[in-house]
Chain A
Amino acid sequence: MKKWLSVILASVMAVSFTACGNSSTATNGAANGDASAAVSAAASSDTGTASMKTESGKTITVGFSQVGAESDWRTANTTSMKDTFSTANGFNLVFDDAQQKQENQITAIRNFIQQEVDYIVLAPVTETGWDTVLKEAKDANIPVIIVDRMVKVSDESLFTAWVGSNFKLEGQKAAAWLKNFADAKGLKGSDLHIVDIQGTIGASAQIGRTEGLEEAAKEYGWDLLAKESGEFTQAKGQEVMESFIKQYPNLNVVYCENDNEAFGAIDALTAAGKTVGPDIKNGQIMVLSFDSTKAGLTDTLKGKITLNTECNPLHGPRVKKIIDTLESGGTVDKKAYVDEEMFSADTTVTQVSVGGENFNVTKLTQEVLDKRAY
């Protein structure tokens, strides 16, 4: 009796699975037909794509799995996505906050697949462990666009495109600035005693920014005293800095891998009676930071953070461009970098060069700060 029951249940399940598969291919077919019709229209006017889609009545459903809201940067990233993929632009955004947990993101992606969204956008919390779930998305024929951090997968075809920052370049830019700054002030490489408050270990931003610093330290003979993770949070950054101050009384440069860590580090330094600023010859401690959030730039303007290298969170438009291209049947580059700037209130260095390419250092003014959206 039980055997029979299980056979019946199994066959019911099998039928329902095929049903799911069928319906998803059906929607894909429809999407393709729609897209081919859209190509000619898209060719005539590039800017009109979004409005055209609303006219045709087809809304594109995008599932977005966000890491969380751990920093102002992340919040700006979320806002950019929400603004870009708005109903007015012809999109239906399904947003999921993973609260820093990979298992939540995997669940979210599986939900997106079940809901048969048209595109999945993933801001991964870590680089590894995505093979299985991305394979599921690929089997369901849903293009996956990775934003911000990169994923490490055995098969590159598991995701369609990646949009984000060149973290290694950010690190190199900051290091190049420090080199130029030291030269301009007549400081030798061995005069720079640097501590690195790293991000969450294993995150692309941490890996790239740490590498940029380490390579430069080796090349220019900087005294890289220590590196410890501040997990991209203010509380941890403060705790790690408290410990650094006691271990290395001679430190004069703090390399924070995001703004929140820099806030914590500055608090710890101030509490210990140190002054932060660019004048390291006279005992000031220089803080370098990344991200350039509004709060971070406010501290840059006050001179607390000497250099703030931008990590542009406004990924929305870039992702939309990719989706538009895919909708019109085009092919997209596997990697798309967003443009990023450098901000400093100190004007000693105005330009840095990395790998033959020049980058300007923007002098931060109240005006620049006011224009900042996040």
Chain B
Amino acid sequence: MNAKTKFDWGKLVHWRFFMPIVCLFLVLLVNVIQTPDFFVISINNGVLYGYLIDIINRASELVILAVGMTLVTAASGGQDISVGAVMAVAAGICCQILSGGAVSTNTLMAPMAIAILAALAASVLCGAFNGFLVSVLGIQPMVATLILFTAGRGIAQLVTKGQITYVRVDSYRVMGGYIGACPVPTPVFFAIGVVLVVNLVLNKTALGLYIESVGVNGSASRLVGLNSTHIKFLTYVIMGLLSGVAGIVASSRIYSADANNIGLNLEMDAILAVALGGNNLGGGRFNLMGSVIGAYTIQALTTTLYAMKVSADQLPVYKAIVVIIIVVIQSPVFQKKFRSMRHGKAVTVNAG
């Protein structure tokens, strides 16, 4: 009996989602003690209401970015740090087309589909630019994407003429708000949709396998007939597209394009989400759902600190401490120690 539970426990520890989930639960656990009503979900004003809903809702953009970032990391062994800026570009283009060039509008000046498609096309273009630099020219990903990281917000400023462009139309607020009487916030659907579609593509086609093999050993993959350049390029294009989606959702939340602030510092959170998900930032094998859990962990941390009444000037310090703890727990050295500790225990139990 004892041996059986031991066996299950060991299997659980080696399960690849174990660590990300443990971290998420650690963050949420604090709330059980500190804010007992943290987990209460009710219906208020016809929509779901509660801290958990806030976390799931607010994390949506980050989840979308984390999915793309995982693929980019796996294939190219580097990160795309331009995603926040690309979000701003997409938001800027979308709002600017909808407002017909004005600073604020109360009626749509162009069909929404055209604006969204144009915004997504621009973000795909940004992704293709990054992908070209990384895959064809072989530039280090962080250096290559640094270009759009700095220039992206400038482009967004140029598009919006340095103003915050407001689209005060109810139909534009749907993507960051609610669809009709549906009680679930729309961004959640975007996040779930992106995760489902990407998962489906990875599982139904060999793309996931290709990305992993290119990341593990690009030259070897080429020798067995994989075009590693194409695959790397493709991951950056996907990243661009997803940044665009995240940008439109973020812009719809505030029915405006705030070129300076949309997606600000979100690239770092997205990279952190990938790391928290137990992925190797050097590329190779990846764990998509781990990154998604990582993204929710980061938002859970922010919301938790709000709920715990941590004052604003101390917030970054607490965040940093928790992140350090989580990263240390997930580090290979610590995990090895942890496992050998368990094995050591098991041996003594057997001996006894």
Contact = CB atoms under 8 A, between A and B. Distances in A.
A238 B252 CA distance: 13
B312 interface: yes
Interface stretch (B118-126, B210-218, B257-265): B257-265
A240 B49 contact: no
Interface in A222-266: 226-229, 231, 233-235, 238-240, 242-243, 246-247, 263-264
Given A97-B162, A233-B261, A235-B253, A272 B309 contact: no
Given A78-B162, A273-B44, A240 B306 contact: yes
B309 A247 contact: yes
Interface in B30-62: 35, 37, 44-47, 49-51, 54, 58
Nearest to B299: A239
B104 interface: yes
Contacts of B258: 70, 233-235
Interface of B: 35, 37, 44-47, 49-51, 54, 58, 104, 153-154, 157, 162-164, 166, 177, 250, 253-254, 256, 258-262, 264, 303, 306-307, 309, 311-313, 315
A184 interface: no
B164 A75 contact: yes
Given A69-B259, A69-B260, A97-B162, A201 B312 contact: yes
B50 A70 contact: no
Given A228-B306, A295-B166, 20 more contacts: A69-B164, A69-B259, A69-B260, A70-B164, A72-B164, A75-B162, A100-B260, A228-B311, A229-B312, A231-B261, A233-B258, A233-B261, A238-B254, A240-B306, A246-B54, A246-B307, A247-B306, A271-B45, A273-B44, A273-B46
A240 B311 CA distance: 12
Interface residues on chain A, size class:
20 to 34
A70 B259 CA distance: 8
B241 to A, nearest CB: 22
B164 A235 contact: no
B54 to A, nearest CB: 6
A189 interface: no
A99 interface: yes
6 tightest CB-CB pairs across the interface, nearest first?
A273-B45, A229-B312, A243-B306, A234-B254, A69-B162, A68-B260
Nearest to B150: A99
A343 to B, nearest CB: 19
B157 A97 contact: yes
A233 B253 CA distance: 12
Given A75-B164, A227-B312, A295-B166, A234 B256 contact: yes
A198 interface: yes
Contact of A99 (B51, B253, B260): B260
A295 B154 CA distance: 25
A246 B259 contact: no
B49 A272 contact: yes
A242 B260 contact: no
Contact of A272 (B45, B177, B256): B45
Contacts of A263: 254
A243 B54 contact: yes
Nearest to B250: A235
A243 B307 contact: yes
Contact of B157 (A69, A228, A234, A272): A69
Contacts of A242: 54
Contacts of B37: 246
Contacts of B104: 295
11 contacts: A69-B162, A75-B164, A99-B157, A198-B312, A226-B309, A228-B311, A229-B313, A235-B258, A235-B262, A246-B54, A295-B166
